[in-house]
Structures are given as structure tokens and as C-alpha cells.
Amino acid sequence: MNVINNIRQLRSWSTINKGARCVFVPTMGALHDGHAALIRAAREIAGPSGNVAVSIFVNPLQFGPGEDFTKYPRTLIEDLSLCRDNGADMIFAPKAEDLYPPDRSIVLHETSLSQLHCGASRPGHFEGVCAIVAKLFNLVQCDDAVFGKKDYQQFAIIRRLVRDLDFNVVLHGIETVREPDGLAMSSRNRYLTPEERLEAPSLRTALLAARDAWKNGARDPDVLRRLITQMIQEKAPSSRIDYVAVADAHTLESVSATTELVVIAIAVFFGTTRLIDNIELK
């Protein structure tokens, strides 16, 4: 497994491996079993003759003022072992100064999908996501890229980024990997206190209750939002709901008569820790 720390080495690796299918998994490190599932999926897509590339980079551009950039866990040694054990061929772990010149003046601003939900709560976050994903796609020169669907809005925005900027990259969305009690795996779960950790699975419980209501004919978004809100407030009294969105899975806007796939996406604070989750309804 190659561990690469700068752009020059990365371009050399890409040149040497030109012609082999490259499947890319971008991460911010602090890897867990959810990331391992993404790397294994990439390995399967790449096949025996392809390459799996993983980036490990805590992107400062997607953290807002007062967010957890400085304390975000950085566990590179453990991360490299997980990547190696799950079939990665190359790790790109640059420093911020290698990717962002001090006088950088070009930004990518998505004007539709990023204005809602997490974008409304975290201004500028998705500009940072678009910037780093575009740079990494350009540098890694991948054929495919694998993302988890836990951050549903992020995946939708990257899908739009690929379409609008004509990246020749096939995107693969992988289902959320969960703890035994249903909590979506996240690098931020380690921030939770023992009491908050006991309450956190209520997010999944509430989403499943909404899915059951949907199956029984409930189609009113307000009804579904109230159901989720009440259940989380009852089962996680220490939490604070940021938003509960019932949206078109493709546009992320309000559902309409033409909506074919609905997603319920939620963001909830436990103390200062913000967790997200979602569920698709067909």
C-alpha cells in the first residue's frame, strides 16, 4: 500500500497506474467500520486489476466558526491499518498548505441543493465540500468514487457537482453502516457522553417509526415531522433538534405530486455534538 503526502507523488502514482480502473474513497480520517465498508465496496468495484485510492484529509474549508475543526479526531496510524486491512492500494494524506494556497481566490458555490437543511444550519459548509471534492477528483483522476449515504445531502450535492462540471466519474452511494443499536456510525460519536450515547439511537427509532407510518398510508410531511420530533423529544430529552426534513430525494425540496423517492433527513444536537441520519421512503 502506497502512502502519499504531496501532489507531486500523487501525480506520479496516477501516471504509473494509468489505464487501471481507479476507485476513490474520500474521507476525513478517524476511520471506523462504516469507512471500512466503503473501502471494501470500492475494492469490489475495482476488481483484482484496479486500484482503490483513499484520501485522509480534515478539510478546514468545510468547518464553520465555532465548529470542531481543531478537536476533530486525527488517528492516521490506525487509519492506515484499517485501509490496508480492507483492500486500499493508495492513501493520499496531504497537509492543508499543499492543497490551499494562501492567496486562493477561486470558490465553488452550489446555489440550490446546498441552501437547505444542513446548508442552512452550516453556512459555507458545502462550498468547502465542493472545493475539496473537485480538487481530489482532479488530482486522483479516479474513474469511480464511493460515498456513504448517511450524509444524504452531501451525496446529492456531489452528484450535482459531477453533472454540472462534467467530471468523468461514476458515483456509488453506499448504505449507512450502523451500530448494533441502530445508531449510524460516525467519527463524531466518540464525542458523546455515556448518557448521550444511550439516547442517540432514538434517531433511528424515530425514522423507522416514520417509515412504518408511511407504509400505513401517512403521506402528510407535517404528520411525519411531528411523529419524529415527538419521539426524539420523548426518548432523548437532553437532545436539541436542528431540523427534520421530509423531501424529494433528488431535489431535496418539499415533496410534490411528482416525487418518486422521499427522504426523511434529520440533524440533532447532543450537547455540542451534531448527529445526522436519514431514511428513504418508496
The CA distance from 236 to 23, in Å, is: 39
H helix or E strand, kind and range, residue 265: strand 262-270
Q: Residue 147 forms beta bridges with which residues? A: 173
The order of strands in the sheet holding 239-248 is 239-248, 262-270, 273-281
Region 2-174: CATH code: 3.40.50.620
> What fold, for 187-276?
Pantoate--beta-alanine Ligase; Chain: A,domain 2 (3.30.1300)
**pLDDT at site 109:** 93
The β-bridge relationship of strands 144-148 and 90-92 is unpaired
Percent of the chain scored above 70 by pLDDT?
A: 100
Interval 89-145: pLDDT, tens: 999 999 999 999 999 999 999 999 999 999 999 999 999 999 999 999 999 999 999
Tell whether the model's pLDDT for residue 257 goes beyond 90: no
Task: Summarize pLDDT for 150-196 with one digit per residue, the tens.
Answer: 999 999 999 999 999 999 999 999 999 999 999 999 999 999 999 99
Task: Report whether pLDDT(232) > 90.
Answer: yes
pLDDT number for residue 260: 87
- Can you tell me which residue has the cell 461514476? 170
Q: Which residues are catalytic?
A: 35
Give the containing element (helix H, strand E) for 182: none
Structure confidence at residue 47 as a pLDDT band (50, 70, 90): very high
Domain range annotation of the chain: 2-174, 187-276
Quote the pLDDT of residue 255. Answer: 87
Terminal-to-terminal C-alpha distance of the chain: 41
What is the model's pLDDT at position 222?
95
pLDDT digits (tens, 9 = 90+) for 196-227: 999 999 999 999 999 999 999 999 999 999 99
Q: What is the pLDDT of residue 59?
A: 97
Indicate the DSSP class of residue 243: E
For 192, the grid coordinates are 458523546
Confirm if 207 and 279 have CB atoms less than 8 A apart. yes
